[in-house]
Structure 1
Amino acid sequence: MSSVIFYEKPGCTGNARQKALLREAGHEVEARNLLVHPWTAGALRSFFGGRPVAEWFNTSAPRIKSGEVSPQTLDEAAALALMLAEPLLIRRPLIECDGRRECGFDAAIERWLAVAQPAGDREGCPRNGAHAAHEPHACPSPASPAAGAA
């Protein structure tokens, strides 16, 4: 199939599940650490296409969940500045394949990359909600060894 560059948060179980689906579909996956990549506003912006600014954000990020950051109130420049300063705010994964760039892992991404996905939440963190009882601890923090460069 294709070679996919997959920008992830190392240690994220959701990203691990998404990479496995891509590999099962026959893709070669090159994982990169989204948190330490040397982003520029232009490079980061290229992954969001025509999506509204609010869809650029990781809704599981602590500052968004707490209400400290409200993506719906931000313009493009403010959103990019926040994400460059705090990459945990970036919606994951960022995917690059055959000259195309996208964010997230929704049904459109699955069609594009011919991924067979069982019904259910494609992007949500499995550590939230029903899984919390089985995995009560948060993912490794960005400073932990598991979050090193990929």
Structure 2
Amino acid sequence: MAIIIFYEKPGCVNNTKQKAILQSAGHAVKARNLLTQSWSPETLYQFLKERPLWEWFNRTAPQIREGEIVPEKLDEQTALELMVKYPILIRRPLIQIGDRCTVGFDLVKLNAWLNLKNAGEEAKSLDLGTCPRTVRNR
């Protein structure tokens, strides 16, 4: 059993489903509020560094939807500074398992780290990357 630190937006439908998948595979999930966590650029970068910069962002954040912030036009330092200032910009979830950190709910990666067993198979049929509230509001 792994202890998973799971940084989420409380009330997020997909984060709730993601935590349930991890718990059903026998892991302990310690949920943290991503929006109220005190982030530094260095700490945040540990979760994001393996992905391209544009994948660091929550594409449904108001500043991005309204065109105020265009991730593809940012450098890493500016992106990190904006995310520290406006945590709603951070793609969810951020996951920490021991000294390993990642962003997003990547089933392939998590299965390699955790052996999700049947929980991973069930989750493959779910869309855990698109916010159902965003889709409903379009």
Range into which the TM-score falls when normalised by the shorter chain? 0.7 to 0.9
In the alignment, what sits opposite 1:122? Answer: 128
In the alignment, what sits opposite 1:83? Answer: 83
Contact 1:9 1:35 in 2 (8 A): yes
Change (3 A) 1:114 1:128: farther
In the alignment, what sits opposite 1:148? Answer: none
Structure 2 length-normalised TM: 0.88
Paired-residue identity, %: 48
Higher helix share: 2
Change (3 A) 1:119 1:110: farther
Distance, in Å, in 2 between the alignment partners of 1:76 and 1:106 is 22
Change (3 A) 1:61 1:113: farther
Code of the aligned partner of 2:93? P
Distance, in Å, in 2 between the alignment partners of 1:121 and 1:110 is 16
In the alignment, what sits opposite 2:21? Answer: 21
RMSD of the TM alignment (CA)? 1.4
- The Cα of 1:55 is off from its aligned counterpart by 0.8
- Kindly report structure 1 stretches of 4+ aligned residues shifted beyond 6 Å: none
Code of the aligned partner of 2:103? C
Unaligned runs of 5+ residues in structure 1 are: 137-150
In the alignment, what sits opposite 2:107? Answer: 107
- The Cα of 1:114 is off from its aligned counterpart by 3.0
- 3-state SS of paired residue (1:81): helix
Code of the aligned partner of 1:106? D
Structure 1 length-normalised TM: 0.81
Contact 1:106 1:123 in 2 (8 A): no
